[in-house]
Structure 1
Amino acid sequence: MELFSDLPGDEGLPGVRRRRAMLAVMTATTMAVFDGTIINVALPQIGLALQTSAAASVWVANAYLLATAMTLAAFAAMSSRLGFRNQFTAGLAVFTLASLGCALSPSVEWLIAMRVLQGLGGAAMLSIAPAIHRTVFPNRLLGRILGLNAVLVAAGTAIGPVLGGTLLAALSWEWIFLINLPLGVAAVLLSWSAIPDTRQRGRLRPPFDMAGALWSALAMGAVIMAADTCAHFADPGQGAHAALTAAAYALVALVSALAFVRGQRRVREPLLPLDIFSNARFSLAALTSLASFVGQGIAFVALPFLFQNAYAYSAFESAALFTPWPLGIVLVAPHAGRLADRHSPALLSSLGLAVFTVGLVLLALLPDHAQAWDIGWRALVCGMGFGFFQSPNNREMLGNVSRERSGNASGVLAIMRTFGQCLGAALLGVILAVHTAGAVAHGELQMSPVQDGEAIRVALWVAALATALATAVSASRLRRKAQSPA
């Protein structure tokens, strides 16, 4: 296989060790993706088993997301001190042991605490996973390995709910965590033996930027909480309170972000070196990623409402209707990654985003009573467009920084994805709140299926607008010459 072939002048690791490192990173990625998709299916059973409310059960999912988002920037910066091997292996070990703790949890409070630990371990891994690929593989193969990684995430997204449903039907909720143990042990052994030790030795370094880590954690945590609060806008009894709470979180996020940026300009060794954004192609790729994930975030949350509330499909049928989206990514992403190693990543990602935008417009134009096949082919177009965009854009981000800054670039990539998805969810919350308020004003207790459909179509048009903006930002890179990484 060409991924593991060695040519004169290749950077990275020899082919045999490259294979082991890839297996370690991809196994860990699979665990993280499965954990994020399976848990939502299991929440009702977990609430019943631990005798807790639905609101408390939701925090089993939210605790992981919060812990991950709040520490992505810190772990991305810490990797230059700890080294990729040490940090990735330690994060993987924490994630695996926390999975065992989740399975043995006697109460929902204990389970939430273990999910926070899982989130910390996940952040330590996910913040540097793309950077490890950059370190392990030569530049000529970077697009291909990022394409394979996109396929893995898409396949995990599609298979996760099915696997979760199967485990819950045959066994119990504890097994959605216990399944991580054999995978985690194997990945720890592989990562320790294959991932290179990238610690920078031989020089004194200033203290770690703890203030930057705290400000970034506060900013990201406040963004997540603001997005989560927006989901309650549609509740007539909590709408006003939710709006004030979301505004307070947004203010905290803004103040923290400004304090973070100001601090990064003053410290000797900042958490996130702002000079990496002086490379215009890197900055534009990051903005492209942010806008595209806003569109994806809206669609991912909105479509289940459309399928179940407006079209009256069951939860299982809704999951099946969504399957063409990740299937499209699986079909296209490897080819996009290969092409990105030979042709302009900016051109390829712009074309992919244009197709993604068309797919979202097609979904927004769905009729009031859509057939399954009609939904499926439109979702497939979205997946193919997103799959053609993601790998080249990620390659553009990582390829426009030096190898020493790969950890920082990888962290920016993860932050753009998380922040974009949260902003998308918040926008959907606002759209649903406005439409629900309109229904209440007309004396209705809740929206009818037709009104649900109208609200979701508005959301899908907003998602298409976000991806059209991403397409324009991405295309602007075509007028700029590639810069040598700093």
Structure 2
Amino acid sequence: MNTTTLAQPAAKPLAGVLASLGLAALLPSLAISSANVALPTLATAFGASFAQTQWVVLAYLLATTTLIVGAGRLGDLIGKRRLLLAGIVLFTIASGLCALAPTLPLLIAARALQGVGAAAMMALTMAMVGAALPKAHTGRAMGLFGTMSAVGTALGPSLGGVLIGMLGWQAVFAVNLPLGLAAFVMAWRCLPADRGQGGAAGFDLPGTLWLALALAAYALAMTQHIGLLAAAAMGLLLFLRTEARAASPLMRLDRLRDPALSAALAMNALVSAVMMATLVVGPFHLSGALGLGAAAVGALMSIGPMVSAVSGVPAGRLVDRFGSRRMTQLGLAVMALGCALIALLPASLGAIAYVGPLALVTPGYALFQAANNTGVMADVAAEQRGVVAGLLTLSRNLGLITGASAVAAAFARGGLGLSFAIATGLLAIAVGLTRPRELQSREM
């Protein structure tokens, strides 16, 4: 479809813009969480091992992680709305291919294609905020994105379970067809047209490929084989060398020397690693140490995403009212308190010793995400919003991948107490990163 030849609606109501961006933010998280619950069924359906079926999840994560920055930069060049619409179309078509896949390798390939579309959606929903919304509503939009991501994470397992039970594993992927169509129609009708973009002639393909290689090697090193860290380091060096010489680099390296941006990206990675602790360690603690059944574990684990979903939009309003720096610090402090309580409360208190403090961690996370993302995106030039949004999402994904490996190792060695003592320490480091003078000056 040629998106440049059709007439654009004259009015872009705030509610329509928020709704369209929110749905586009929901689908990528729903696609990952709903697929997780299908893995045992897929193993049976295809006669595959758990390690083989894991690639249904891993292929999607690798595609989104390796291409997110490139997708953001390409949106800056050819138009954010245009590429967001293309990403939704690709995501939707790939979802249909997943549902029709006759073999596991073809399903994995379709999931990788779905991840490519999701990378554009994840980067450009955030990047569209500056173009589509007044600056005074930036925090509200970031809070909404956090809410929709949490809703997708919480809804995915239960929705996936129901769909598999009623219609089979194919329904987990087919459900994205009507949702993707709705997302496309809403984005087409509600988002403002791109203005002033040229073409992709200046796109830094070599830099994108080297960065993708480095990120893929790192992700696989954390999840599959630690020896790939050497390949990740080599890919990173080649990427930096390419960027230093490129006429139109994927990202300007001097941006990474900006203390405010570097601190925000580092905080995002640290906090994401902590949140992965709740997702990885929680089920093992509740089922192993406390002896709870699968249904009880699932219900208790859904409390965190539900609290985060409810608190996302109010968190964004707080950021709009009180500023990004103070709300970043408050969110981190609340998270640190919750993690410290999990580490210190006696196991004799039962599930409440874990779930109670978790009800502090998740709204703290929602507040941090809204504040940190707002602080970063508020003053970014229009031609750089895509790549900066991609960097934010990349730092989150790298934190999740690293946290899954590091926190699992800590839990295996020292149990729940050690895992969340480390998490508390990571949050203390993040609080320290809010101190640079440049970051303090970034108020809404």
Matched, 1:151 2:158: no
The one-character-per-residue Cα deviations of 1:415-444 (angstroms, maximum 9, x if unpaired) are 1100111111121243356x3xxxxxxxxx
TM-fit CA distance, 1:478 = 7.8
Q: Decide whether the 8 Å contact of 1:84 with 1:196 is kept in 2.
A: no
Q: Matched residues in 2 for 1:205 and 1:95: separation?
A: 21
Matched, 1:273 2:273: no
Which residue of structure 2 lines up, in the alignment, with residue 66 of structure 1? Answer: 62
Matched, 1:295 2:274: yes
Q: 1:183 aligns with which of 179, 187, 201?
A: 179
Q: 2:391 aligns with which of 412, 422, 428?
A: 412
Q: Decide whether the 8 Å contact of 1:34 with 1:156 is kept in 2.
A: yes
**Distance change >3 Å, CA 317–CA 407, structure 1 → 2:** same
The one-character-per-residue Cα deviations of 1:332-382 (angstroms, maximum 9, x if unpaired) are 322221122232211111111011011111112243344233332111011
TM-fit CA distance, 1:255 = 1.9
Which residue of structure 2 lines up, in the alignment, with residue 456 of structure 1? Answer: 416
Matched, 1:211 2:206: yes
| Residue identity matched to 1:156 | G
TM-fit CA distance, 1:29 = 2.0
Which residue of structure 2 lines up, in the alignment, with residue 385 of structure 1? Answer: 364
Q: Decide whether the 8 Å contact of 1:346 with 1:477 is kept in 2.
A: no
Matched, 1:468 2:431: no
Which residue of structure 2 lines up, in the alignment, with residue 100 of structure 1? Answer: 96
The one-character-per-residue Cα deviations of 1:83-140 (angstroms, maximum 9, x if unpaired) are 1122111111111111111111111111101101101111111121101122110101
> Aligned runs of 1:251-270 on 2, under 5 Å?
251-270=230-249
Q: TM-score scaled to structure 1, two decimals?
A: 0.84
Q: Matched residues in 1 for 2:378 and 2:261: separation?
A: 8
RMSD: 2.2
Comparing 149-158 with 219-228, greater Cα deviation is found at 149-158
| Residue identity matched to 1:178 | A
**Distance change >3 Å, CA 197–CA 269, structure 1 → 2:** farther
Q: List gaps (5 residues or longer) in structure 1.
A: 1-12, 230-244, 436-453
TM-fit CA distance, 1:479 = 7.3
Q: Matched residues in 2 for 1:344 and 1:318: separation?
A: 37
Which residue of structure 1 lines up, in the alignment, with residue 284 of structure 2? Answer: 305
| Residue identity matched to 2:82 | N
TM-fit CA distance, 1:17 = 4.5
Secondary structure of 2:54's aligned partner: helix
Which residue of structure 2 lines up, in the alignment, with residue 114 of structure 1? Answer: 110
Q: Decide whether the 8 Å contact of 1:291 with 1:420 is kept in 2.
A: yes
Q: List gaps (5 residues or longer) in structure 2.
A: 1-8
Q: Decide whether the 8 Å contact of 1:93 with 1:121 is kept in 2.
A: yes
Q: TM-score scaled to structure 2, two decimals?
A: 0.92
Which residue of structure 2 lines up, in the alignment, with residue 84 of structure 1? Answer: 80
| Residue identity matched to 2:395 | M
Q: Matched residues in 1 for 2:99 and 2:343: separation?
A: 41
TM-fit CA distance, 1:483 = 9.4
Secondary structure of 2:434's aligned partner: helix
| Residue identity matched to 2:296 | E
Comparing 365-374 with 124-133, greater Cα deviation is found at 365-374
Q: Decide whether the 8 Å contact of 2:203 with 2:248 is kept in 1.
A: yes
Q: 2:191 aligns with which of 188, 195, 208?
A: 195
Q: Matched residues in 2 for 1:482 and 1:155: separation?
A: 29
| Residue identity matched to 1:62 | L
Q: Decide whether the 8 Å contact of 2:146 with 2:370 is kept in 1.
A: yes
Matched, 1:375 2:335: no
Which residue of structure 2 lines up, in the alignment, with residue 438 of structure 1? Answer: none
Q: Matched residues in 1 for 2:180 and 2:269: separation?
A: 30
Q: Decide whether the 8 Å contact of 1:81 with 1:200 is kept in 2.
A: no
The one-character-per-residue Cα deviations of 1:209-252 (angstroms, maximum 9, x if unpaired) are 111111110111011101112xxxxxxxxxxxxxxx40x21111
Q: Decide whether the 8 Å contact of 1:212 with 1:263 is kept in 2.
A: yes
| Residue identity matched to 2:205 | M
> Aligned runs of 1:121-136 on 2, under 5 Å?
121-136=117-132
Which residue of structure 1 lines up, in the alignment, with residue 216 of structure 2? Answer: 221
Which residue of structure 2 lines up, in the alignment, with residue 445 of structure 1? Answer: none
Q: Decide whether the 8 Å contact of 1:79 with 1:407 is kept in 2.
A: yes
Q: Matched residues in 2 for 1:15 and 1:362: separation?
A: 49
Q: Matched residues in 1 for 2:383 and 2:67: separation?
A: 20
